[in-house]
Amino acid sequence: MPFSLKLPWPLFGMVRPRLRESAPDDLMLVGERVSLRPLRIEDAAALFLCASDPEVTRFLPWQPAVDTESVRNFLFDQIARRRRGESLGLAVLLHDTLVGSVDLMGLHGAKKTGIAEIGYLLNKDHWGQGLMSEAAAIARDHGFTAFALKTLIGFADESNIGSRRVLEKLGMRRAGEELRTVKNEERRYIRYEMSRADWEACA
């Protein structure tokens, strides 16, 4: 998930949904196995278990978190960004336990461009169970419904097969690539896109 620890279903009809300024604190999105709600400060310890794992952060542009305090600082920033309508950081809950997060980014710019980006992070103990695919699909649908998105984009390291599969399961299509310097190494990132028309067609 491309968030930064720099500190150490669908609605159809003739009328499109009104663009929401920000997501409320009590937002709850419920799926078959997982549910999503806005990230909270008290999520620091559980999120630290994900963000501190070298395997989880292998393809991400930041080093593993070294302490819970750095995650708390990240969460303060995420909450502020959500309340300003810039992004929507969501906790992924399994049986009321946080196992990861999913983020809709660039919402402020989406007011003009209609484009937002999705990213995600999942505890290694829950890899290979389809949980992130479900969580990301819930976030995707919310993005198109609540924020009137025209296009959803996502990026994954070329070698990050798991992340690329999540994006492909969402119905996103490969739309290009770019080179990025990640952890002092040049890496190839694949760009995926999904238009509103494609989303409506497969919903």
Tens of pLDDT, residue by residue over 94-106, are 999 999 999 999 9
Distance CA 135, CA 35 (A): 7
Whether the pLDDT of residue 61 is over 90: the answer is no
Three-state SS annotation for 96-145: CEEEEEEEEECHHHHHHHCEEEEEEEECHHHCCCCHHHHHHHHHHHHHHH
Task: Find the angle CA(94)-CA(103)-CA(171) to the nearest 5 degrees.
Answer: 85
60: three-class secondary structure by DSSP: coil
Residue 94, strand partner residues: 34, 97
Task: Count the residues in the chain.
Answer: 203
Distance CA 167, CA 190 (A): 10
Distance CA 146, CA 140 (A): 10
The predicted model scores a pTM of 0.88
pLDDT of residue 20: 52
Helix (H) or strand (E) holding 77: helix 68-83
Q: At what angle do helices 161-169 and 131-146 cross, to 10 degrees?
A: 50
Tokens representing residue 97 in the block: 């336990």
Query: Mean pLDDT over residues 120-149, rounded?
Result: 96
Residue whose tokens read 């930064």: 4
Top-confidence residue, 21 or 7: 21
Whether the pLDDT of residue 7 is over 70: the answer is no
Cα distances (Å, whole numbers) of residue 100 to 24, 82, 173, 174, 195: 20, 17, 24, 25, 26
pLDDT of residue 183: 87
